[in-house]
Amino acid sequence: MKVGTRMARRGSNTLFFAGLLGLSLPVLFLIFFPLGRLVTAPTFEDLVHAIREADVQAALLRSLLTALGAALVSLVFGTPLAYLLSRRDFPGKKLVEGLIDLPIMIPHPVIGIAILGLATRDTVFGRILEWMGIQVMGTYAGIVAVLTFVGLPFFLNTAKAAFESVPERLEHVSMGLGAGSLSTFFRVTLPLSWRGIVLGMVMCTARAISEFGAVIVVAYHPMLAPVLIYERFTAYGLKYSQPVAVWLIVISVILFVAMRFLSRPVRQW
Amino acid sequence: MKKIGFILSVSIFFLFIHFVTSYAQKRPEGKLVVFHAGSLSVPFAMIEKAFEEKYPDVDVLREAGGSTKMARLISEVGKPADVMAAADYTVIDDLLIPRFTDWQVRFASNQLVLCYTSKSRYADKVNGRNWYKILQEKGVIWGQADPNLDPCGYRALMVMQLAERFYRSPGLYGRLLASRSEAAIRPKSVELISLLKTGNIDYAWEYLSVALQHGLKYVRLPDEINLGNSEFDSFYRLAKVKVTGRKPGTWTVKTGKSCTYGVTILKDSANKEAAVAFVEYLINPEGGLRILQESGQAPIIPCLTGSVQMYQALPDVLRKLVRPQ
């Protein structure tokens, strides 16, 4: 009787996992099939020709640098907030956490319009920006502002989780031994959580490099890669836009693999 | 039994009449996809409403953009459309004839003005005589549509070329281009309006009809350079602008001409009936043309077409409303 139930259990387990795999196939298909078609559609000459064009090179470089810029801004200004949210409880904390996720839900052109509206000359804030000589429309400042807006939730959530994975006990021990809060942060918390923070930057960069709807409202020129791809598609069709799309995917993949590689866990002895 | 038989035969009789009459009437119905220039957005919204009241079974789906871009969506990208209304009929001639259509009807004109708002720098000083000096002033941000995607873009360049000749100021065109901010170039001319209204740019090249429709202040330019008066076509012809061709890296030259809007029905239209009804309404002096006039855009009455062959290629009902060349 015991043998029978064990074998029956193993059989139903295999069936269960077979079912899981079967139901996962459509999802995997949805993700990989269109991308696979896209990546294999352009010919080698198309790809070489595209990457040689100055416009394409400039757009890809701009996308890369502005996305990394947004990640950097998120790092500098988001880390304190992420640490605060991971360690402190305060009234309204749930509200703040909900608001942080708001940028994910807002339609992208609306984000662009909102940020453009910041700089209008008939608001006090707009006039301060004007006095400082900061322009939003069609500038890298405006682009990075928009990209940071959309990428920040991804960085914050990942960094917060990274800080939460560091036991508070260790920080208390450190302070008990005489180190100050700042010293504890840099010498105890950060070394244990920096990989999570780098992952947060990866997520932020990934989100930022693909942004289109918000960017095209704020800045048509200077042109980022997604805007160039869209313009090429509407003006010339698939043949001239697919190669640029492939290059953007290739560069993104290289970037993310590199970032993940650099933050791989040290081999356990 | 007899009663049921009577009712049945009467019902069948009425059903038969209904089908015969509906087939005979061939009322337009279904989806109608209309691509049109951004500058036609406001009047076409009104025309759509009036047309759908007249033909309630038709659902008009409009998509607006730079006319060149919209034409390329048809010719290069293969996006399906029934009607195409461009701000420049030569866009239809260059990109759609003969593969996608055989004719165009010219139904309206327009002229270029320099738009601004009360928030614009030097708004209180700008006029028809000093506009080209103010555009060059430091700190003034002025914009235009992308010449490769929107006729308003290359027309703006033509106005500035003509200004150089008209004001006898050699090098003016070059100087104006140098003062233009690349960030203020947009693919669709009407996008500039939101930038004007939010104070992100000070001046923008727009059509007069658009300025009137959106309540913008504008500087009227002399007829010799505003591309609005066909009597000056021989002067307008002196302006030439290079724009991108069908493939990246190729170019075509656009020659200055008074703004003339054109409309056509695509050969591959999925709903020819509704398309013909729509264009018939549009080019009717009591229908679409009146709406255009009330929206601040001068219609061409009666409508014109390109040649005798083109006139022959028109659908029958449209020929009545178009003057044979």
Residues in chain A: 269
In a domain, B290, yes or no: yes
Question: Is residue B161 located within the same domain as residue B246?
Answer: yes
- Inter-residue contact A111 to A214 (CB < 8 Å): yes
**B123–A contact, CB cutoff 8 A:** no
CATH number of the structural domain spanning residue A238: 1.10.3720.10
Tens digit of each residue's pLDDT (9 = 90 or more) over A31-57: 999 989 988 888 999 899 899 999 999
- B17 domain residue, yes or no: no
| A267 within some domain | no
Percent of chain B residues topping a pLDDT of 90 = 79
A126 and A18 both lie in a single domain: no
- The pLDDT assigned to A8 comes to 62
**Tokens encoding B273:** 């009936």
Average pLDDT over residues B314-325: 88
Instruction: Based on the fold, state whether residues B240 and B263 are members of the same structural domain.
Output: no
Name the domain count of chain B.
2
Tell me the mean pLDDT in the region A258-262.
Answer: 82
- In terms of domains, do A217 and A107 share one? yes
Closest residue in A to B199 (Cα–Cα): A120
- A53 in B contact zone (CB under 8 Å): yes
Mean pLDDT value across residues A23-38: 92
pLDDT tens digits, B153-192: 999 999 999 999 999 999 999 999 999 988 899 988 888 9
| Domain co-membership, A130 together with A157 | yes
Determine the distance in angstroms separating the CA of A164 from the nearest CA of chain B, rounded to an integer. 43
Residue A29: domain span: 1-40
Question: Containing H/E element for B112?
Answer: strand B112-116
Q: Verify that B191 and B244 share a domain, yes or no.
A: yes
Q: Is A46 on the interface with B (CB under 8 A)?
A: no
Clarify whether residues B172 and B268 are in a common domain. Answer: no
Closest residue to A122, CB basis, from B195, B199, B246: B199
| 8 Å CB contact of A238 and B185 | no
Say yes or no: A8 and A60 in one domain: no
- Angle (CA) B28-B32-B35 rounded to 5° is 145
Full strand arrangement of the beta sheet holding B142-145: B185-186, B142-145, B203-207, B112-116, B217-219
A51 & A25 share domain: no
Other beta carbons less than 10 A from residue A157's beta carbon: 18
The answer to whether the beta carbons of residues A232 and A242 sit under 8 Å apart is no
Mean pLDDT confidence for A20-39: 92
The verdict on residue B208 lying in a domain is yes
Q: Which residues of A touch B117 (CB under 8 A)?
A: none
List the structure tokens of A193. 């959580």
**Per-residue pLDDT, B25:** 56
Whose tokens are 């002067």? That residue is B235
Q: Which pLDDT score, from 0 to 100, does residue A269 have?
A: 43
- State which residue of chain A sits closest to B121, comparing Cα positions: A121
- Answer whether residue B3 shows pLDDT above 60: yes
Instruction: Quote the pLDDT of residue B325.
Output: 66
Please tell me if residue A207 touches chain B, with a CB cutoff of 8 Å.
no
Q: What is the pLDDT of residue A2?
A: 58
A89-124: pLDDT as tens digits: 889 899 999 999 999 999 999 999 888 888 777 778
- Interval B210-238: pLDDT, tens: 999 999 999 999 999 999 998 999 999 99
Instruction: Give exposure, B55-79, as e/b (b: 16+ Cβ within 10 Å).
Output: beebebebebbbbbbbbbbbbbeee
Which structural domain, as residue segments, surrounds residue B285?
27-110+259-319
A223 to chain B, minimum CA–CA distance in Å? Answer: 9
Regarding whether B40 and B171 lie in a shared domain, the answer is no
Preferred mutation among A218, A221, A228, A229 to probe B, highest tally of B CBs within 10 A? A221
Give first-to-last CA distance, chain A, whole Å.
Answer: 45
Contacts of A220 in chain B (CB under 8 A): 146, 183, 185-187
Is residue B224 domain-shared with residue B167, that is, in the same domain? yes
Among A114-128, A194-208, B76-90, the minimum mean pLDDT is found in: A114-128
| Range scoring the smallest mean pLDDT among A7-16, A70-79, B186-195 | A7-16
Give the pTM.
0.80
- Residue B199 to residue B22: CA distance in whole angstroms: 54
Write the pLDDT tens digit of every residue in A157-188.
999 999 999 999 999 999 899 888 899 999 99
Residue B14 lies in a domain: no
Write out pLDDT tens, residues B34-55: 999 999 999 999 999 999 999 9
Q: Find, among A137, A129, A121, the residue nearest to A214 by Cα.
A: A137
> Residue A231 and residue B187: Cβ atoms within 8 Å?
yes
Give A127-140 pLDDT, tens digit per residue: 888 888 888 888 89
Examine the domain organization and report whether A47 and A10 are in the same domain.
Answer: no
Specify if B180 maps to a domain.
Answer: yes
pLDDT of residue A164: 93
Number of domains comprising chain A: 2
Kindly report the CATH number assigned to the domain that includes residue B36: 3.40.190.10
pLDDT of residue A5: 65
Statement: residue A266 has pLDDT above 80:
no
Q: Which pLDDT value is given to residue A116?
A: 85
User: For residue B221, which phi and psi values (nearest 5 degrees)?
Assistant: -105, 160
Do B302 and B322 form a contact (C-beta atoms < 8 A)?
Answer: yes
